[in-house]
Structure 1
Amino acid sequence: NAGTYTNTWTVTDDCGNTSDVFTQIITIEDTTAPTWTTAATALNVTLECSDTQGLANAQAALPIAADLCDTDVSNIIKVSGSFTASSGCGNAGTYTNTWTVTDDCGNTSDVFTQIITIEDTTAPTWTTAATALNVTLECSDTQGLANAQAALPIAADLCDTDVSNIIKVSGSFVPSQCINSGTYTNTWTVTDNCGNVSDIFTQVITIQDTTAPTWTTATDALNVTLQCSDDQGFNAAQNQAPVATDNCGGTLTYTKTSGTLQKGNCGSTGTYTNTWVAKDVCNNTSSIFTQIITIEDNAAPSWITVAGTLNVTLQCSDNIGLTAAQEQAPIANAKCTIVTYTKTSGQFVASQECSNAGTYTNTWIAKDDCGNATDIFTQVITIEDTTAPTWTTEIASLNKTVQCSDAAGLEAAQALFPAATDLCDTDMANIEKTCGQFVASEGCSNAGTYTNTWIVKDACGNTSET
């Protein structure tokens, strides 16, 4: 583009005389450097650190130059700058690229500078789905709770390859209407190298108590069979109560429904059916626990009257005493029902030696409403005859005084006979007479006495006075 033009002139006069040569030299030079037609900051760009395509495009960009004389200024030389990270963020920084261009005459342009600014303004995002760590557990599931508390969301960042610096804020347990249920709300955030903070990731661990209490008392452990008279045993059975346990603890509330006696086949027999339910603090209700108290009556009545107390020994003549003895009856006690008595009246059994003496043997059994019978109660009424016959003839009424010559009178006197009676023996004809010999008086042999004596025995051998 530089060089010279040399122009020469001569002049000839009319006579043909020619002048010396006049020389003109026009010097062409090129001292003007090319200039950039691309605006100074036109290639500057700010990109997200993740915008690899944008970075490639920016790096491929080229400024355009023009020269006043050189029509071909494509020999642009680029000096690519390395990435210079910012002090606070390793993913942000700048690339500074420069270009120069030289024309054919070696004139070099000013330096064209391109600044590619890389920034990181995008927060990490959670790859774990928003509710993926939420869980609902039974209050007793300690392992499940431990697993849930150990769970961790995963984050990703467009530029930061290490986003493990996740910060967890563990929420305390917030009970709901019942103390065993409620929630733990845990939150996480993660910050990339450039201080961009993610949205909050929230985990809600819901603790519920839907499990009813269970009975630790065995199903039939409180069942009992008692005699109807066993008041102490009955009170003890009624005061018993089953025990339940709950998987999550807390105070259990027991509700007892006391059953009334359901009558059995007899007397006071039957069953009481008591039921309980247990509720935990979350109102979960257990299954029904049932207690059956069976009341039975298989005990016989017992005799209150002491054995032998109705036995009596009476004279055979004591009809009032016999009637009274026959009207007596023993008393029995059945602790739960009324007593029904059955008497078997024994016939008079005479003794072998004495028909007026002997025994009446009466027996009783007592039954309650359930057919339980006592042992036999025996009454022995002993009839004896220990009373001798007595004379109905007055003591001196057979004494006679007769003349020694009065044979007929003596005979009549000797023929006299006293009469006897017995309380029980109606036949007093077996009177025995002992005839006395004539006993003369001292002063007169024709005078004296006959002393006759009589005794009588009843059928039982009781002998009268003489």
Structure 2
Amino acid sequence: SLFYPAQVSPGTYTFKYTINGLCSGTDEAIITLNIDDTIKPVITTCAVPRDVVGCSTNAITSPVYSDVVANSSYAEFTNTTNQGDVSDNCSANADLTVTYIDTVSGTCPIVVTRIWTIADESGNSETCTQTIKLTDTTDPTFVEALPADATVECDAIPTAVTLTATDNCGTATVTFNETSTEVAGACANYTITRTWTATDLCGNDIVHTQTITVQDTTDPTFVEALPADATVECDAVPTAATLTATDNCGTATVTFNEISTEVAGACANYTITRTWTATDHCGNDIVHTQTITVQDTTDPTFVEALPADLVLECTDVVSTAPVLTAIDNCSTATVIYNEQRINGSCASNYQLIRTWTATDACGNETSHIQIIDVQDTTPPVFTGELPVDGFADCDNIPVAPTVTATDDCGNVTITLDEQRVDGDCSNRYELIRTWTATDDCNNSSTYVQTITLACHIEVFNALSPNGDYSNDVFTLEGIECYPNNTVEIYNRWGVKVFETSNYDNINNAFKGYSDGRSTISRNEKLPTGTYFYILKYEYSYDGVNGKQNIEKAGYLYIQNN
């Protein structure tokens, strides 16, 4: 058989041969064969040069940057990124060992030199070099807000702003330039072009341009307060004011003109139009117009003192109307007089309206009105002897007397009203008597009499103390008005069964029980029967006036079942 060393892997191989001769018999031979691989892998195409956008070696991939020997693979060396091609006479592609190491140089761009090493299984190796460029292609960015184009007045050109910039891979510098189309001595209409250029370390730059259109479109300004439109009387036309003006970019001149619609001999109603025009050297102008309406709207004026309004009583004398005259600012005036009477609510109440009207030649007029109110505001007056305030017993109330009254301007009607006002206890009250005198015009006067009344105690001489809240107590109506009192109760044998002072019908009261005597047990209910009471109290109208010592005695019946 045949042996082909190229078809096996490197190594030591032993072959045994047996030879059979036709005449001499059999013979054997042993052969040892060593096969070596000394041929390097063949790099047909090294990894292609690459351009990578970035600021540092961190941007490199497939494989990543490494400044020490690093492992890769046949697949990574030959992928679409690197596009390398390699083969070996003995080793399969997958069995090849692929390593690389990077070195870096430069700044813009950054150049990475990558040395690839490819070794076969016998250690035979080949190298190739790949170049990778790292490039910064990003322009810087302005930091501040960019100034916009503007159209400004010649006296309001903005100051150029200071701009700064940043860059993704380092620093950036900003340069500024300004050009102007201004022509000295010409009207201030021109253009300013401002340019800011930001440049990074790799020469990437960005430019911002601002165009400022400078112009003079501002009208001059009047210096003085402008005369306003006015409506004036024919005898008060104002003198025309002298106006001056200033301009934002130069000087200004002022011209004046006046037109009047006055017609000689006519009533003084006409118009004056005054015009001031301020113009600057660029032709901008401002106009102020004042319209003066001249007219005669002033009413005539009375010469004499004007009669004032009057309020008279029906007994007063109404004076004769005075004669008034008038003057006018632009012509003569005539005066007409009129008087009107308006009756009131009664015969003594009425109103006189006196009117003087002064009229000038232009129909302007002024009136004066005097109002004389004639009225009866005086109330009637009581006459004769009037009843006085006093005190009385409830059983002896004095009869209300008849009173009289008079009035200066009419008849009088008298009415009487009587009201009861309760006092501080049940047996005391007041009678308020009010006489009202009213005349025909409803004026009235009043007279009041107050009678203070006090009633004697009323004795309820029967009780049935059975707890039904009816007649359970010996009731002395009005006793609370006279606290300075005593009460004594005796049975039919003359034995005192109850005695107290300051009797009050509630807490200190006789309720059918004995208060203790030799023949009667204390706090025992008294037997049904007839008893005898003695009541003593100090009577007065109001606790001060009319004091009297009163004693009442009588029979008291007790029903105790």
Q: Which of the five TM-score ranges fits, normalised by the shorter chain?
A: 0.3 to 0.5
TM-score by length of 2: 0.39
Higher strand share: 2
Q: Which has the higher contact order (CA 8 A, sep 6+)?
A: 1
- TM-score when scaled to structure 1? 0.46
Greater fraction of residues in helix: 1
Which of structures 1 and 2 has the bigger CA Rg?
A: 1
